[in-house]
């Protein structure tokens, strides 16, 4: 085991997350890039935890997974339903010399990379709703939450949080306020080993975090485009105090959403922005 790899809590069943098994399934490069790996039986939120750790000097490459989150966080202030032992809740801390403002595009990269990994293990029909909602059959399979802290001119600490519904019971699913799906259904009932899945995602994420540092968003645009769930669709953008309608043109080179409106093309950056299909009502459809 690499120094600093710990398991906080019980680990009786082979199905539980296991630091040794994750490390064994990683590529040599992935293993080298991980400075610290923590698996918690229960935590408030893996993202919140790593943001706290980042503030006290945790190194680049600190990886945290949990069997359950008591206060899992989603985008736009929503909560993320995080029952024990069923799904994947994973956060990675990465440090960049660049300022926080330069890292916004990674929000799209994270979604594209996770979708690509799942496609490689046999999940067909995946789609991304800008910026990074992972959908299947218009139902939510996973999501990413990126949080960043740093100086205006850099450096920055980026926490990439990834949540994937792997095996959600209908009981737990009732707490989710939108249509959802889990990987077991997407894969036609095949069982997914969560340690292997975690390693595949972490390997791909590390590659992407390193490449983004060298080359920015550009090399990932085509991958994201290939999963675009909304391109060509009539849609609504919900801002804090207004709603803008138009046809989705895709994403710009900086990751902004391009919308063709009655007043011409407008671009939106991820943040406090929500995208809906024109035909979805206020309280329905994926968010
Ligand atoms: C979304 O709203 O789509 C984003 C969901 C992100 C959930 C993950 S689970 C691991 C990490 N810890 C959190 O509290 N949230 C993210």
What's the pLDDT score for residue 124?
97
167 is catalytic: no
Alpha carbon dihedral 58, 60, 65, 69, in 10-degree steps, equals: 60
**Contact of 171 with 84, CB cutoff 8 Å:** no
Q: pLDDT tens-digit profile of 20-58?
A: 999 999 999 999 999 999 999 999 999 999 999 999 999
| Most ligand 1 atoms within 8 A of CB, residue of 89, 135, 275 to mutate | 89
The structure tokens listed for 253 are: 């080179």
The ligand 1 atom nearest the CA atom of 69: 14
| Rounded mean pLDDT, 252-268 | 95
| Rounded mean pLDDT, 271-285 | 68
Asked if residue 14 has pLDDT above 70, the reply is no
Report which of residues 190 and 114 the model is more confident about.
114
For residue 91, the CA-to-ligand 1 centroid distance in Å is 9
The ligand 1 atom nearest the CA atom of 82: 9
Ligand 1, residues at Cβ distance < 6 Å: 45-47, 69, 72-75, 78, 80, 89-91, 133, 143-145, 161-163
What's the pLDDT score for residue 15?
75
Res. 282 pLDDT band, cuts 50 70 90: very low
75 is catalytic: yes
Q: Pick the catalytic residue: 48, 73, 129, 276?
A: 276
Residue reference for tokens 């993320």: 80
**Contact of 76 with 274, CB cutoff 8 Å:** yes
276 is catalytic: yes
Asked if residue 8 has pLDDT above 70, the reply is no
Q: pLDDT tens-digit profile of 61-119?
A: 999 999 999 999 999 899 999 999 989 999 999 999 999 999 999 999 999 999 999 99
Edge-to-edge, what's the strand order for the sheet holding 139-150?
6-8, 36-40, 62-66, 88-96, 156-164, 139-150, 133-136, 126-129
| Beta strand extents in the chain (DSSP E only) | 6-8, 36-40, 62-66, 88-96, 126-129, 133-136, 139-150, 156-164, 234-238, 243-251, 257-261, 264-268, 274-277
Q: Pick the catalytic residue: 36, 95, 129, 140?
A: 140
Give 159's strand partners.
Answer: 93, 147
Mean of the per-residue pLDDT values of the chain: 92
How far is it, in rounded angstroms, from Cα 31 to Cα 29?
A: 5
Give 161's strand partners.
Answer: 91, 145
Q: Is 263 exposed, middle or buried (0-12, 13-18, 19+ CB in 10 A)?
A: exposed
The ligand 1 atom nearest the CA atom of 47: 12
How far is it, in rounded angstroms, from Cα 63 to Cα 30?
A: 11
Res. 280 pLDDT band, cuts 50 70 90: confident
| Rounded mean pLDDT, 206-231 | 97
174: CB partners within 8 A, 6+ apart: none
How far is it, in rounded angstroms, from Cα 114 to Cα 132?
A: 10
Q: pLDDT tens-digit profile of 176-187?
A: 999 999 999 999
């Amino acid at each position: 085991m690499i120094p600093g790899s710990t398991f906080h809590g019980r680990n009786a069943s082979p199905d539980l997350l296991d630091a040794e098994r994750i490390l064994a399934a990683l590529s040599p490069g992935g293993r080298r890039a991980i400075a610290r790996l923590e698996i918690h039986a229960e935590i408030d939120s893996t993202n919140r935890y790593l943001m706290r750790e980042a503030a006290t000097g945790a190194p680049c490459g600190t990886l945290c997974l949990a069997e359950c989150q008591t206060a899992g966080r989603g985008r736009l202030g929503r909560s993320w339903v995080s029952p024990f032992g069923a799904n994947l809740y994973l956060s990675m801390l990465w440090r960049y010399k660049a300022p926080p403002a330069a890292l916004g595009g990674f929000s799209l990269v994270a979604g594209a990379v996770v979708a690509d990994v799942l496609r490689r293990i046999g999940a067909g029909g995946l789609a991304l709703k800008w910026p990074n909602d992972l959908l299947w059959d218009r139902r939510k399979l996973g999501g990413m939450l990126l949080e960043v802290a740093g100086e205006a001119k850099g450096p920055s600490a980026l926490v990439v949080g990834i949540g994937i519904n792997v095996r959600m019971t209908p009981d737990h699913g009732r707490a989710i306020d939108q249509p959802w799906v889990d990987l077991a259904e997407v894969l036609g009932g095949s069982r997914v080993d969560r340690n292997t899945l975690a390693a595949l995602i972490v390997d791909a994420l590390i590659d992407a975090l390193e490449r983004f540092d060298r080359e920015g968003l550009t090399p990932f645009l085509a991958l994201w485009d290939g999963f675009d769930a909304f391109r060509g669709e009539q849609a609504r953008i919900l801002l804090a105090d207004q709603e803008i309608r138009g046809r989705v043109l895709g994403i710009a080179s900086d990751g902004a959403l391009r919308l063709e409106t009655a007043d011409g093309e407008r671009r939106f950056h991820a943040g406090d922005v929500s995208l809906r299909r024109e035909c979805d009502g206020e309280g329905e459809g994926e968010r």
